[in-house]
Amino acid sequence: MSTNGNAGDLTARNVVITGGTGQLGAGVCQAFLDLGAEVHIPAFNTREIERFALSSHERVHITPNIDLTDEQSVVEFYSSVPTLWASVHLAGGFAMSAITETSKDDFMQQINMNAVTAFLCCREAAKKMDKSGGRIVNVAARPALEPRSGAGMAAYSAAKAAVSTMTQALGEELKEKDILVNAIVPSILDTRTNREAMPDANFAAWPKIDEVATAIIFLTSPQNKITSGSLLKVYGKS
């Protein structure tokens, strides 16, 4: 994919991308590589690592067996990364079920996979960037901003709402340190998995991976000096 020519040069800048071996992650990784960044991926799913096309790239550094819901694991991973410019948190999970069919374990799983991972990664990234500044990008979701659209997925919606609120709070807390914290807010991404799950949907209306990657690149760019605490809607036409 091609990236925005105004995004700036990220040569030799270290960028963490959680969920980097996933479908969105691969596109985001490529966008950062195109701009010269060193990409660091904490990975947990062995199968995703094996089929990740960029795993052998000289500027892609994958650390396996990292559980982003485990505090010590996250602390150790960020401690191993050199001076950090940007941390992009794509890792998360989705589940859909009626409230009467949702157990406490189901609810906590969504909180852990989405909100806890984002919290721990934001915290450790902020520590790493404390003296030098940097950029943090989280991923919320449309139901976080439009709760009624979260009917049938209350646990997921609540978890992403936590990510949304945390992003805005941290955007205010960290901006004086030149650490700008923002989130993208997708509707339904045009991925292979989503197409298989919703074969009758209008795929043309869904935001494309390269389009979302471009939005993330802007938020993490040195050219972005004033946007923090924002929730950037990337709905496409859906």
Instruction: Enumerate the domain spans of the chain.
Output: 14-234
Q: How far apart are CA 70 and CA 150, in angstroms?
A: 27
Q: How far apart are CA 121 and CA 118, in angstroms?
A: 5
> pLDDT digits over 217-227, tens only?
999 999 999 99
7 — pLDDT class (breaks 50, 70, 90): low
Q: At 87, list the tokens.
A: 């941390």
The DSSP code sequence of 100-161 is GG--HHHHHHHIIIIIIHHHHHHHHHHHHHTTT-EEEEEE--HHHHSGGGGTTBHHHHHHHH
| Whole-number Cα distances in Å, 103 to 70, 113, 154, 210 | 22, 15, 11, 36
Percentage above 90 pLDDT, the chain: 84
Is the pLDDT at 22 greater than 60? The verdict is: yes
Percentage above 70 pLDDT, the chain: 97
Scanning the structure block, which residue is given the tokens 């969105």?
24
Q: What amino acid is encoded at 94 in this protein?
A: F
Q: Give the architecture-level CATH label for domain 14-234.
A: 3-Layer(aba) Sandwich (3.40)
